[in-house]
Each structure stands twice: as C-alpha cells, then as structure tokens.
Structure 1
Amino acid sequence: MTDTLTFYTNPMSRGQIVRWMLEEVGVPYDPVLLDYATTMKAPDYLAINPMGKVPAIVHNGTIVTECAAICAYLADAFPAANLAPLAQARGAYYRWLFFAAGPLEAAITNNAMGFVLPEGRERTAGYGSLDDVLNALEQAVSGEAWICGDQFTAADVYVGSQIDWGLSFGTVPERPAFTAYAERLRARPAYQRQKEIDGALIAAMQNQG
C-alpha cells in the first residue's frame, strides 16, 4: 500500500518545524496551506485538530498534532531515515523532546509576554525559572555532536527549531553553545530546503496582501 501523508500548515507558523522534519525524512507529502482566520477554523479542519491550529499531519488515516509528537511519530513511521535512536538508547531523545515541549516552551513564552513568577513560587510553575531552563538546555547542545551523540535525530529538529527561532527573535540569549549548535543545524540541506520553501510561500502571501 502506498503511504498517503497530508501536511496541514501555514508558512508563518510552527509548521516550519514539521516541514523541516518532513524534508529530513525525505518522503513525498501533500501540503495543505490554511489561513488563520478562515480555513484553520473551518469544520473540516476542526475535525482534524479541534484547536484550530497548525501544524497537523494525517498519515494513512492517523491524525497527529503538536510539533514534538509529529516529529517523534515521523521518525518511527519512517525508520529508514534514521531519525530516532534504538529503543534502549532513547533516554536523551525523549528527555529533551519533552523538555523543549514543556519547560522550555512555557518559560520562553511566559518571559516574552512579561509574566513574572511571584517570589517563592518557582516550584509551582514547574520549570523554576528561565535561567534554570536555559542552563539545562545548554547542557543538551554543548559539544560538537547532536543531542543523542553522533546521531542526528528528531530531537534535534524540534529542540533545534526552538533555539534557532529563539536566537533569531531574541527570546533565547546568545550563548556560544546555542550559536554553534544553530550553525550546525543551518548547514543541513533539509533545513535549507524548508527555509527556501516556506520563505517563498511567505513572500507570495505578502505580495498578495
């Protein structure tokens, strides 16, 4: 049976993360571009993602939403791409995927919106403080290898996207480990293909506006 893989996205969204992952996987996919105000809130798409948000994928009838989940799913669905470690070596892989989707996302978003934790309530927030999160993240990407050692994985796509975007928009501070890691990511052909595709789509949308 031939795989069918539909990718719902908007180029000005976290869909860029999933497109990068799809380019790393290297299998054909059918992109469907949605508009924030209309098609993203239409009944047919809400049946796929009740949140009315992108990205989402439908692979042979299986719906997956949430960027980290999609990246992990694609790595398992297409093992020939070698984007997930063997089961017994997935400690760092799962650790940092969930770290980026949880503490990192929450800490960066709260900081960007000016939310300040009341003194003494750090444990209640779960992530402690932004500095705690960034110091832990720095450990994950220090050195010259990838998050799981010599193997580039879906964790690098997801965590790396957070760092890459954070450095570009100033929500992640310039630290040597972050900068060096981002430079390695930006050299990957799949990353460059994603930027070219989504960049062209963004330019076309802006020209229409």
Structure 2
Amino acid sequence: MSGRHSGIGMTSQRTRGRLIERLRVRGIKDEVVLAAMNAVPRHIFVDEALASRAYDDVALPLGFGQTISQPYIVARMIEILRNGIALNRVLEVGTGCGYQAAVLAQVAREVYSVERLQPLYERAADFLKELQVRNVNLRYADGSIGLPAVPPFDGIIMAAAATHIPQALLEQLAVGGRMVLPLGAQEQSLWLIERGPQGYRETRLEAVKFVPLLMGKG
C-alpha cells in the first residue's frame, strides 16, 4: 500500500484477516460484508500514532470529540442494512473519517455520506481519494435533515445517536428500505426501521455506545 502509513506491519493482509476471523466469531455471517471489511485498509483512516491498533476490534478517537467506530459495529450495522440483498443507493449520516463510507462503497452501488464538521469532511475526502473510492458522494451538511434532493434511499445508516428518529430521514427512506441507527441519550440501543407499503416497523436490537447526533454544521 503506497501513501500514508505505508511502511508499517499493520498493513499486512494477515493482520486484517485476524480481524475478519474475530468478526466471524462474534456472529457476523454476511460474507459480502466480511469481504468488504477485509478490502478496506482501516489503518489509512486512523491517526498514525494509533495505527498499531487499527485492526483491533475497538473504537478509536478521531479528534473533534468523534470516534472511528468499532469494526464489529460497522460490520453489524451494514449486515443489518443489507439483509442479504444488494444495496443500490445508501445514505450515511456522520462520515467521520470516511472508513464506514469506504466499506459501504464495497456493498452499495452509490453512497451519499454527510458530515457536519468541515475538518473531518475534508480529511475523509482525502482518504477516499487516496483509496480511489469513486462511488461515494461526500456532502458537508447537517445530516439530521438528510439530503432532500437525492432520495429515495434503500438504505440509511447513522453513525451518531439521536434521541428520536429524524422525520426527514423517515421520509427519504424508500418503500422496502431499511434504516439502522442508534437511539438514546445515556442508554443507547441500535434500532432497525423498515418501511413497508403500510408504514414503518421499528425493531430494537442490542445496546451500543455512539457520540450524540448534533444539529447544524460545525
């Protein structure tokens, strides 16, 4: 791998492979998601001082009060979003460093990702460009209102915890689509929202811990 962190052992396929095996042990079964996780070099997206921990199954700090999500959570959320079916157009709320967007780009035809913090937006754009990821459309905007000009999305994934499901995102979800997001303040849970012809179905999943969803641009 040329570019950032190119000389370190953490770039090795063996190191990445061990992470994939840990994800399997933890219950990730979707081979498409596992292949996507294996294909994306997580060390590119973390601070060089933390690169030796890039393939540990832990969240890592990004600065600006944000984190790069634990690999298991990324894999779990995308597995739920996919539900074994190819994804066409996906919206990600909270680009962060761009890692999850890069994984989504492996499993969806078209990814729109929104980040409200300009330094993170610019950094993610640089990382995705370095990896030549061409099917991710980054936007510097308030993700809580989604992207009203683009929908419908057959998948929506949120990387920050809201206290309630944003109405704008419900409206931008296609019939037959799925949204995966953390909800809650002190106690958070992962939720699956499915939109059917007659309305929405909500399913509460496992406990999680995310940074809070904030409004506006920073």
Q: Quick check: which one's helix share is greater?
A: 1
TM-score (normalizing by structure 2):
0.29
User: Between Structure 1 and Structure 2, whose CA radius of gyration is higher?
Assistant: 1
TM-score (normalizing by structure 1):
0.30
Q: Quick check: which one's strand share is greater?
A: 2
